A and B are shown apart, each in its own frame.
Chain A
Amino acid sequence: MGRALARLMAARGDRLFLLGRDPKELERSAADLGARAAAPVPSCARCDLEDPASFAAALDAAEQALGALDAVVVTAGMFATQERLEQDAELARRLLVVNFSHTVAFCEEARRRLLAAGGGTLCVFSSVAGERGRKPVVLYGAAKAGLSRYLEGLDHRFRAAGLRTVCVKPGFVRTSMTDGLKQPPFAGEPEAVARRVLGAIDRGQPEVYAPGVWRFVMLAVRALPRAVMRRVGF
């Protein structure tokens, strides 16, 4: 989804700076964005959500390359099935740290810079998995619930100061993360999600479900009584 969003932004002429774990992969992604947009190849820097020490340097490099930041988009995160996480305590710990603590730490770093520059947009990919406690996503969903709540609070606290927080809640989207999982109804494509997210970033919409139909799916899921949630499989 991050790739699809970056392609849309590059295509309309936005100047980008890429952050990610593997410098070689980043260079290939940067080449792709440059070639698709017939524009200069974006620069990139290493940044790993498992390594909080990398955050400040990566954002410094981005600020230096672009002059100033007006939006920071966070699409990174870990995923594993509930079964795997139950069997592997270390993996579960890593996932909780990456998807919550370190993502929040990265957002704090970005938030300070955006506010110092007079405001901007912080767009972070959370998940519909954080909306209710559910059997297949107990741990993953808990981390995403925490992240969504943090972003909501951030929006309330700093919107007046110029920080526009966008919390993206993707439903089931056909990406490599969900490859092999059973597809529910209303599964979406990354390109459609990217278009919706870009609209939300432009408008500064604090919360966006993507694909859009998931807003209504989750409205229904949130309304289900606990006794029903306990019985159903999802």
Chain B
Amino acid sequence: MAAMLSGWGRVGVPGREVRSEDLRAITRSAVLTRGLGRSYGDSSLPPPGESWVAATPLADRILGFDAAPGVLRAESGLSLGTLNRLLLPRGFYAPVTPGTQQITLGGMVAADVHGKNHHRSGCIGSHVHSLLVQVADGRVVRCSPDEERDLFRATVGGMGLTGHVLEVEVRLERVPSAWILRETERVPDIDAFVAALKRAGPSWPHTMGWIDCVSGGTRLGRGILMRGRWAEPREAPPGLPRPLLRPALPFVFPGFVLNPVTVRVFNELYFRAHPRGVRRGVVHPEAFFYPLDAVGHWNRMYGPRGFTQYQCVLPDEAGPGAARRLLTTLTGLGGASMLCVIKDCGDEGAGLLSFPKRGISIAIDMPIRDRTQAVVDALNAQVIAEGGRVYLAKDQFTRPEDFRRMEPRLPEWQRIRREWDPDARLRSAQSVRVLGDAP
């Protein structure tokens, strides 16, 4: 059997990755570079007809760290987990971090990742000083907001399609302690949730919520709101947090483990486990930022067919009822699962295909079933009507015509991409599926 390669959603295509400490040696002939393969769908997979992609994790050297401004320069395979582990003791942390630290710097740039602090700090691209990129014809080009600006804007969030990211120079956040002060609170329904996120935004750098996407009626979109900030030294326990233990799911669960009943029970218990009122405490940053990293291979939970995550942003212009309308559609379709995450987003960043824009983002994990395509199509129709868009780093099912309707910036991005790669030599399974590249 041919080797299979998949993203985090565990839907594979034939292909394999080639790793080397010498990244340039492998990217020269590669059509795509991937990091740790944590994008959910097909962004990091080879297009049909290509048998391999380059992978960066062995190219993970830190080339310089200047503590005065907090600027780090490193090869693109450096993992966020390593970065945080090495630099937290010195008072620095990634300025923007998504929900896992099992990702690479290059992947963070390619997806222009955002975190719980998007409303305040934007995407990672806003903190990147410069990139070293190997473009399609083999040249190695430095780009930044001031130098080769177009290439920079197209590469940040460009899903690796404008060039292979070799090195990243990024400014880290100086933190007052190594601990997070967290508050959590029950929220009764989706409208209250949207209001609570907007209310918390100005005073809390980190906010997000878990929502119950199964219950309907007056309980639609109830959940737990989480807000946090770095603890001040006087609030923090002495010493550094120790790395957390990471047990792993040892095997792929059978498909029936997650069914409407178990999902409903999980959602009910998760909600009820939280007492009424506000709970406040100082927690480990890994527990705050990466609760799911606590279980290795948690993607095996969704069974042999794998899963997808649907993440969209609904702009503020669509009004405060947009989130309710989307959840109503979702519960009507019965597509939801254990994990639905809501957060508010700030302004759009420099990246031309970067996902967030001012509004509310909702992310829903769905085990793959026969009707998943139909569910995604229906959600996309609604997101288009609301003026929103989906996140390519999660996507596996969006149709090209739908993506074009969501993304008015696409022609500008395509124009820049053509300048650097007229034949669209660099491409992925996703770019063939969504952007219309030739296979």
Please report A residues at the B interface, Cβ cutoff 8 Å: 3, 28-29, 31-32, 35-36, 38, 175-176, 179-180
Residues of A within 8 A of B63 (CB): 28, 31-32, 35
For this complex, 15 residue pairs linking A to B, each with C-beta atoms less than 8 Å apart, are A3-B21, A28-B61, A31-B61, A31-B62, A32-B61, A32-B62, A35-B65, A35-B72, A36-B86, A38-B90, A176-B19, A176-B20, A176-B58, A179-B20, A180-B16
Closest to B65 in A: A35
In the complex, which residues of chain A have a beta carbon less than 8 angstroms from the beta carbon of B90? 38
Residues of B within 8 A of A29 (CB): 61
Let me know if A175 and B58 touch, CB within 8 A: yes
Contact of B18 among A38, A175, A179 (CB under 8 A): A179
Q: What are the residues of chain B within 8 A of A35 when measuring CB–CB?
A: 62-65, 72, 86
A181 to B18, alpha carbons, bound, how many Å? 11
Query: Cβ of B22 < 8 Å from any Cβ of A?
Result: yes
The 6 closest A-B pairs by CB, nearest first: A32-B61, A35-B62, A176-B20, A35-B65, A32-B62, A179-B19
Q: Which residues of B contact A (CB under 8 A)?
A: 16, 18-22, 58, 61-65, 72, 86, 90
- How far is it, in angstroms, between the C-alpha of A180 and the C-alpha of B22 when the chains are bound? 15
Bound Cα distance from A3 to B90, whole angstroms: 23
Determine how close the nearest CB of chain A comes to the CB of B240; give it in whole angstroms. Answer: 14
Interface of A is mostly: helix
Q: Contact between A180 and B18 (Cβ–Cβ < 8 Å)? A: yes
Of chain A, the residue at the smallest CB distance from B78 is: A32
Whole-angstrom distance between the Cβ of A58 and the nearest chain B Cβ: 21
Residues of B within 8 A of A31 (CB): 61-64
> Bound state CA distance, A31 and B18, in angstroms?
25
Residues of A within 8 A of B21 (CB): 3, 176
Q: Collect the chain B residues with CB atoms within 8 Å of residue A180's CB.
A: 16, 18
Could you tell me the distance in whole angstroms from the C-beta of B286 to the nearest C-beta in chain A? 19
The closest CB in chain B to the CB of A37 belongs to: B86
B272 to chain A, nearest CB (A): 41
Taken together as a complex, chains A and B put the C-alpha atoms of A3 and B75 apart, in Å, by: 14
A175 to B86 CA separation, bound complex (whole angstroms)? 23
**Chain B residues whose CB sits within 8 angstroms of the CB of A179 once the complex forms:** 18-20
* Chain B residue nearest in CB terms to A182: B3
Assess the A36–B20 pair: CB atoms within 8 A.
no
Closest to A176 in B: B20
A175 to B63, CA, bound (A): 21
Return chain A residues, CB-CB under 8 Å to B61: 28-29, 31-32
A36 and B62 contacting across the interface, CB-CB below 8 Å: yes
Give the complex CA separation of A180 and B58 in angstroms.
Answer: 14
Contacts of B86 in A (CB 8 A): 35-36
16 additional A-B pairs beyond A29-B61, A35-B63, beta carbons within 8 Å, are A28-B63, A31-B61, A31-B62, A31-B63, A31-B64, A32-B61, A32-B63, A35-B62, A35-B64, A35-B72, A36-B62, A176-B19, A176-B21, A176-B22, A176-B58, A179-B20
Which residues from chain A contact B64 at a C-beta distance below 8 Å? 31, 35
Complex CA gap A206/B22 in Å reads 32
Tell me the bound Cα distance from A38 to B62 in angstroms: 11
CA distance A175 to B61 in the complex (A): 15
Chain A: which residue is nearest B82 at the CB level?
A: A36
Q: Which residues of A lie under 8 Å from residue B20 when comparing CB positions? A: 176, 179
Q: Which residues of B contact A3 (CB under 8 A)?
A: 21
CB distance from A146 to the nearest CB of B (A): 27
Q: In whole angstroms, what is the CA distance A28 to B167 when docked?
A: 12
**Distance in angstroms between the alpha carbons of A32 and B20 in the assembled complex:** 17
Which B residues touch A28, using CB under 8 A? 61, 63
Q: Which chain A residue lies CB-closest to B60?
A: A32
CA distance A179 to B65 in the complex (A): 30
- A29's closest neighbor in chain B, by CB? B61
In the bound complex, residues from chain A placing their C-beta under 8 Å from that of B58 are: 175-176
**Residue on B with the closest CB to A35?**
B62
Minimal beta-carbon separation of B410 from chain A (angstroms): 35
Smallest Cβ distance from B414 to chain A, in angstroms? 34
Q: Which residue of A lies closest to B59 (CB)?
A: A176
Q: Which residue of A has the minimal Cβ distance to B19?
A: A179
In the complex, residue of chain A having the shortest beta-carbon distance to the beta carbon of B58: A176
Closest Cβ–Cβ distance, residue B100 to chain A (whole Å): 19
Smallest CB–CB gap between A188 and chain B, Å?
Answer: 15
Write the chain B residue with the least CB distance to A178: B19
Kindly report which residue of chain A lies nearest to residue B85, judged by CB atoms: A36
